[in-house]
Structure formats: structure tokens, C-alpha cells
Chain A
Amino acid sequence: MNDAVDVALRLLIVFVVFLTFPLIVGQTEHKVMAHMQGRLGPMYAGGFHGWAQLVADGVKFAQKEDVVPSGADRRIFQIAPAVALLPYLLILLAIPIGPGEGAVGQVLDAGVFFVLAVMGVGVLGSLMAGWASANKFSLLGGLRTAAQLLAYELPMLLTAASVAMAAGTVSLPGILHAFHWWWVPWQIVGAVVFFVSGLAELQRPPFDMPVADSEIIFGAYTEYTGLRFALFLLAEYAGIVVLCGLTTVLFLGGWHGPWGADGLGWVWTLLKTAVLAFVVIWLRVTYPRLREDQLQKFSWTLLVPLSLAQIALTGIVKVVIS
């Protein structure tokens, strides 16, 4: 009985985090992007500086008609948003935010592989949406998504493998327990490569060719309306939370901090995640979109060699210090 309550409580907490954190990131994006462009952003919804803008957006999305194009493959079209969204919920289960058993949804022995594997599944949702929409722009977006996944999954895996090598374990809490502060400079190249590849896998600007609105309308999501469209957007922001959380855990030492690592470790995790989320938004505001071929070139000629070099460095240092 106690176990059941424990499991239910953990699931509930993860679910609440899953529903609120992406919204917080979204609202922050509204405001930060506005101020970086010399604007104010939403100011009305909710009264104080438009804090409830995304709630209002959600209400709007819920009111819209749910349209399925007549030429579309109905069932696949309808389940695609769930396929895109659910993997991120599963990943949140595995991300530890503090030391100890209580601070992680579920301790997984092969956590690194779990999170990367499940992140890849999310992209399948976009591909399904792109194919099932019976729309050439959607199909193009879907194909671009797939090409992007293939190009960026590899550097992501390699850099994650580098950290796993350094820690000697593939479990996320295990990696954090083995963490020392000098890992940050040691793995910094890997961290950057991981973060950038993650951005590309989430199709965040400047890597958003799959949804490039000025070229292919909204890519795979062109035909979506209402709640299903909102689910895709939620998946994007949940993806930001997951990516930032993962980068924090793998490269920035999660709950480790200059002080208070015992009781307030989760504050450090959240703080680092928030800073990374800010960087995600910052990059979006600053850089223009890459071209599709530049994107592929960037991955294969820069990120993959860099991640291989990082693995080599990790291996050398590991051999030297042991």
C-alpha cells in the first residue's frame, strides 16, 4: 500500500512538473524574447505582466475546431501529437533533481540510453504527422525532421557516451554521484555539442528548418489545429525542459554546487536548468535560421568530429588519472 502511494505520488509530481515547467519556459520565452527585441510582450492576461498568457492560449486552443484534412490518414494524423509528446513525459521520470532516492521519478540502471532512446521516439511523432497530413509542406517538414534526427542523434550519443565513460556508469544518478567540479572544463566541448545537437533535435531556432514558417508554412504541423497543435507546441517546450535538465545532469553537475549540495541540491538543478532554458531562448532570438544543407554540414563536419575528439580526450584523461 505504501509503495503504491509512493509510486502514485512520484507520478503525480512528475506529471505536474511536466504540465507546468514547459508553460513557465514558454512564458519566459514570451517575455525574454520581447525584451530582447525592445518590446514588452504579453501584458494583459492575468493582470500582472501577462503571466496567464499561456493559460489564455490554452483556452483558445481548446475552443478551436479539431480539423482533420479529408485526404489525411486519419488515425495516424490523430495519434501523432501523443507520440510527439509522451516521450518527454517518460524522460522527466528519469531525470534526478537532487541526491537521494526521493529526488528522481525512477532510478534507471541505463538512464543515459533510456533518455536518448526515448527522445528519438518523439521525432517519430513529427514524421508521422508530416506523412499523414496529405500536404506537401507537411511531408517536406517531416522529411527534414527525419534528416535532422539522423544527423544530430549521433553527436548527442557520442558526447553522452563521453560522460558515461568519465563516470564509469550509464545511470544518471550514478553519473552525478561521480561528478567533480573539474569535469565541467574537461567535458565542455561535449557539453556544447550535446546542447547544440539537442537544440537541433528539438527543432529550435536556429535549427528550425523542419518548421521553417517562411519556407514550408509550419512543416509537419501545417494541417494541425486546436488541441492537437497545442500538444505539438507543448512537446517543443517540454523538450526544452528535458534537454536543459539533461545537459545539467550530464555536464553541469546537477545538484552539485559551491554550497548547500545536501539539502538544497534540487535548487541547484533547477537553477542550472533555468539558465540553460534562458540560453535556448537567447539563441533563438539572436540567430537566423540555418539553411537545410548548412544544417547537415554543421553536424557532419563539425559536431561529429568534435564529439569524437571529446571521446578521445575523455579516454586519455581517464587512463592517465586511473
Chain B
Amino acid sequence: MSPATAPHGFLSPTGVEIAFVLVGLVTFGAALVTVTTRQLVHAALWLVMALGGLAVEYLLLTAEFIAWVQVLIYVGSVVVLLLFGLMLTRAPIGRSPDADSGNRWAALVVAVAAAAALVWVVVDAFRATWIDLDGTAAGSAKVTGASLFQHWVLPFEALSVLLLAALVGAIALSRKAKADRAAADIPGARSDRPTEGAR
């Protein structure tokens, strides 16, 4: 990221800056509704809205690649979330009476603390760095790929290994459960189905 040379002020915002703030507000609002609504599926759909808003923010910062990947990954994940929401709960139309947690104050404290930490880190790291939006895109696929596989290749690979471990773990767990069930089936085969135990 190349800091622009021209001085910037908060009092004469450009169109992009205004859009950035507005979209940010929408994203923030959607995120708030996501955690406060009592309608399960609505929460997931508001999450789509929040993540989509985030993607737009990336776009405004010329990080096109990140934006589209954000949409690609998170829409898929929201679909999975919806599926689990629908399958694990009754997910009625209207309010779920039990969709509220007694820990809401603790959750709020944790959330505010996490947000404060993140904002502090970001502000501390970048302070008054301005991205030059008019020049070559700082977040194009080429730039992102180069920085990802040169400067950040170790964390990237570590993440890949983590995901791979999760994948293998899931397969191992599901196979183990299956094997256990099969093992339990054989001695417990009912006498009226003699062929069942012999397979």
C-alpha cells in the first residue's frame, strides 16, 4: 500500500469516503440486528447483509479480489448455517422464544472488548496511512497473490494445515462413529433376522 502524498482532512470528505462511512453504518446495523433478532433465519439473512456490506467496503478500498472471495465463501457458509439452523432447531416463522441467551451482558462485554482491541490494533498499525484509490489498484488479484505467497506464505500454509486437520478430523470422527455402530450391530443382531449378523 502506497500512502498518498497529498494531505487529507476529515472536513472535506470525498464521495468514496462518504460511501465508505454509509456502507459501514449499514454493515454495523445489520450486524447488530443479526445478534439481537429473535428470528433465527432472519439472523442468518442479516448476517448475509453484514458480510455483503463488508465486501462493499473492501471494494471501496480497491481490494476487489478479497471482496469477491468474501462473497463467495460467506454466502456458502451462510447457506450451511441456514441448513443447520433449520435442521437443528424448529426455526419457526416468527420469533423463537428460546432464541435468547442469559449471557447477553457477558457477550456484550466480550464483543466490545474484542472490537476495542481490533480497532486499537488497526489504528495503531496504520494511523494516518491513506490508500491512493486513483492509482493502480492496491488490492488486485495480482498484488494480493504476490503478497500472500511472498510475505504471508507461512501463516497461509499454517491456516491450510489447520483446515486440512479439521477436514481429516471430521472424516475420522464420522468413520469412527460408523464403525462403532456397525460393531454394536453385529452382536446385537436380532434372532429373527439371522442373515443380518452373518453379512
Contact = CB atoms under 8 A, between A and B. Distances in A.
A139 B76 contact: no
B71 interface: yes
Interface in A44-102: 71-73, 76
Nearest to B75: A120
B76 A150 contact: yes
A117 B71 contact: yes
Interface in B64-121: 64-65, 68-69, 71-72, 75-76, 78-80, 82-83, 86, 91, 93-94
A120 B76 CA distance: 7
Contacts of B75: 117, 120-121, 124
Contacts of A72: 93
Given A76-B41, A124-B48, A139-B86, A110 B78 contact: no
Interface stretch (A126-134, A210-218, A297-305): A126-134
B91 A131 contact: yes
B71 A121 contact: yes
Nearest to A74: B93
A146 B64 contact: no
A71 B94 CA distance: 9
Contacts of A128: 45
A113 B69 contact: yes
A146 B79 contact: yes
Nearest to A169: B141
Interface string A285-317: 000000000000000000000000000000000
B137 interface: yes
Nearest to A114: B68
Contacts of A71: 93
Contacts of B36: none
Interface in B127-159: 137, 140-141
Given A116-B72, A117-B69, A170-B65, A124 B93 contact: no
B38 interface: no
Nearest to B137: A109
A242 interface: no
A143 interface: yes
B91 A110 contact: no
Contacts of A73: 39, 41, 93-94
A123 B68 CA distance: 16
Nearest to B139: A109
B93 A113 contact: no
Contacts of B141: 109-110, 113, 169-171
Nearest to B66: A110
Contacts of A120: 71-72, 75-76, 79
B93 A110 contact: no
Given A117-B72, A124-B75, A146 B83 contact: yes
Contacts of A109: 64-65, 137, 140-141
B75 to A, nearest CB: 5
A174 to B, nearest CB: 10
Which 10 pairs from chain A and chain B are nearest by CB?
Answer: A117-B72, A113-B68, A117-B71, A110-B65, A73-B93, A120-B75, A114-B68, A109-B140, A117-B68, A110-B141
Interface of A: 71-73, 76, 108-110, 113-114, 116-118, 120-121, 123-124, 127-128, 131-132, 134, 139, 143, 146-147, 149-150, 153, 157, 169-171
